[in-house]
Chain A
Amino acid sequence: MTAPISRDDVAHVARLARLTLTDEELDTFTGQLASILDHAADVEALDLDDVAPTSHPYPLENVVRPDEVRPCLDRDEVLAEAPSAEDGMFRVPPVLGEAP
């Protein structure tokens, strides 16, 4: 059985999810997540090593599309929805650091 979710866990998870929480929110969410996870303890307690996981409820396989070009979107229409654009590109604040 895993230990109850801690305030530090919640803070870590918020960082991964790119959310900023106030101290008060951190307390509230910690309590709420703990109670939801506590309700899930029945599932956590099951021994299911022999049961395969289901990630797709309707079992399909080998679904593909032909390698044929379809129309693209109009760039102006796309960039009109962008918070900021320049030279046909999406403008964003400086990134500071390479992609992982």
Chain B
Amino acid sequence: MSPVERFQTAAGVAAAVATGERSARSVLDEHLARIDEREGEIHAFNHLLADEARARADEIDARIAAGEDVGPLAGVPVALKDNLCTRGIPTTCSSKILDGWRPPYDATVVTRLRDAGAVVIGKTNLDEFAMGSSTENSAFGATRNPLDTSRVPGGSSGGSAAAVAAGFAPISLGSDTGGSIRQPAALCGVVGAKPTYGRASRYGLIAFASSLDQIGPFARTVEDAALLMEVVGGHDPLDATSIPEPFPDLRGTLGRGVEGLRIGLVEELLGGEGGFQPEVQARTREAADALEAAGAKVDVVSVPASTYGLSAYYLIAPAEASSNLARFDGVRFGLRDERATMGETYDATRTAGFGAEVKRRIMLGTYALSSGYYDAYYGKAQRVRTMIIDDFDAAYERFDVLLSPSSPCVAFPLGDKTADPLTMYLNDVCTIPSSLAGHPAMSVPFGTGAEGLPVGIQVMAPALGEEQMFRVAAALEAAAPGGAR
């Protein structure tokens, strides 16, 4: 039985709760029971908010009983990546430096979820400050893949992906900087989407790399992902990089099929030069065939500059991170390792508070921005970004969406890639180019690969192209071979 059949969808829950067919409380209790059963082995959550969620579910039920319309996510349990600020609720980024911090404010997406009637069920684990691809870099211990607990769920939003895959919540929010939603979605066999840069407000998302970070949904169905995206997306005056255009009606386009759409298989992201598992490559070609069978026109396209994506990303993202993470200094919140002077306190606090991967990226980014190296590294990487955007633009003149694997491989065993940072970074090779371009991209499960583990197909679209992206995702979902475990 597929996860979608075993667990209820968000759309289904919201409809049942809104009509009084089910209570929000019973839906919640069902999810809490599953959490009770499996959270010990999976560790999806940094903070489970069972009591708060029960109170909230009861409130929703009371409001529905009073005849109120509580919104499109009425009574739907939602898990939040623990880098989204929640007022009065610990928000840690899975870092010792923020252990115990309770923000005095809510992220915009959190406010929108509440306004839509959702029930926040917990804060999910991540690679510290979203830096990683396996959720092993957490100060509070790794998250395990619900489909095989000897394996990673991917990362950095591994907790949010695992929570949805394990049936702890029908939907969750993650953040994606270079693939941190799409890669764990692929490895956990769920849908994960990153909208166009600027579609979802970043206000209250603890920044990793500000020009790349985007918040997006995890769900077990494309429709649920669209529903959650519609709730959290749209302009926010508190985020100056927020796109002013209204957010489209995604769910309304899902049934429109792919007849006549032009779909490009990105040559450079098919793994010609090795490192890609053959089953992953095979599923990608089968996905293209399935879309062609559904009426789309499919061809191979080259996006030459995408081959520079990884290098550019690992200069730009750490550079921005080195500045974004300066404020974790022991002065106003979080950890302080107090010493005789302020200077010594900075050093001791940051040294004690950050894990190795975070330190590595802070140093890499500091170096890329430092006097004498800016032009060679950060400046050059920003120009490569322009090249990648130009090459994508050329491809999108001929194609409506582009296709690739979401990850070169299926879920890998814990500890497999922790020895060498670069090996881990290579997991993001497919997802990074559209991140650098600021384009929307999402991962849809499509069959299985090695060890029967799920394979994710990445659907990419030009800026503001969420509608055609979700249409193609829905078609892939419909055409996906059964048997994902």
Contact = CB atoms under 8 A, between A and B. Distances in A.
A–B contact with Cβ pairs below 8 Å: the answer is yes
Interface of A: 2, 5, 9-10, 12-14, 16-21, 29, 32-33, 35-37, 39-44, 46, 48, 51-58, 60, 63, 65, 73-74, 77-78, 81-84, 90, 92-96
Nearest to A18: B346
B25 to A, nearest CB: 30
21 contacts: A13-B366, A17-B322, A18-B347, A19-B350, A29-B363, A37-B364, A40-B311, A40-B377, A40-B381, A53-B382, A53-B385, A54-B382, A55-B382, A57-B437, A57-B463, A58-B197, A73-B105, A83-B334, A83-B336, A84-B336, A93-B340
B380 interface: yes
A100 to B, nearest CB: 13
Contact of A77 (B104, B211, B379): B104
A73 B104 contact: yes
Interface in B49-79: none
Contacts of A33: 360, 363-364, 367
A42 B332 contact: no
Given A2-B373, A55-B211, A78 B437 contact: no
Interface in B406-449: 420-422, 425, 436-439
B240 A58 contact: no
A6 B425 CA distance: 22
Contacts of B152: none
Interface residues of B, number: 75
A58 B438 contact: yes
A56 B183 CA distance: 23
Contact of A90 (B198, B315, B332, B343): B332
Interface of B: 101-102, 104-105, 196-198, 211-212, 237, 240-241, 243-244, 307-308, 310-312, 314-315, 322, 326, 329-336, 338-348, 350-351, 354, 359-360, 362-364, 366-367, 370, 373, 376-377, 379-387, 389, 420-422, 425, 436-439, 463
B104 A81 contact: yes
Given A43-B312, A93-B338, A93-B342, A36 B330 contact: no
B370 A96 contact: no
A95 to B, nearest CB: 5
A45 to B, nearest CB: 9
Given A13-B363, A44-B377, A58-B198, A96 B341 contact: yes
B interface majority secondary structure: helix
B380 A5 contact: no
Contacts of A40: 311-312, 314-315, 377, 381
Contacts of A35: 420-422
A33 B364 CA distance: 7
Determine which residue in A19, A51, A77 has the highest number of CB atoms from chain B within 10 A of its CB, and name it. A19
A57 to B, nearest CB: 3
A84 to B, nearest CB: 7
A79 B382 CA distance: 39
A53 B380 CA distance: 8
B350 A51 contact: no
Nearest to B359: A19
A9 B354 contact: no
B408 to A, nearest CB: 16
A44 B211 contact: no
Given A19-B362, A60-B198, A82-B332, A39 B314 contact: yes
B354 A19 contact: yes
B179 to A, nearest CB: 15
Contact of B379 (A5, A53, A82): A53
B330 A57 contact: no
A1 to B, nearest CB: 8
Given A20-B347, A51-B387, 11 more contacts: A19-B362, A19-B363, A40-B381, A43-B381, A43-B384, A44-B376, A48-B380, A53-B379, A53-B383, A73-B105, A84-B336
Contacts of A52: 383, 386
A93 B336 CA distance: 11
A43 B362 contact: no
Contacts of B351: 19-21
Contacts of A84: 336, 338
B361 to A, nearest CB: 9
Contacts of A21: 351
B211 to A, nearest CB: 6
A65 B377 CA distance: 34
Nearest to A38: B422
Contacts of B383: 46, 48, 51-54
Nearest to A83: B336
B311 A14 contact: no
Nearest to A52: B386
Given A19-B347, A54-B385, A60-B241, A36 B312 contact: no
Contacts of A73: 104-105
A42 B441 CA distance: 25
Contact of A57 (B315, B360, B385): B385
Contacts of A37: 364, 367, 377
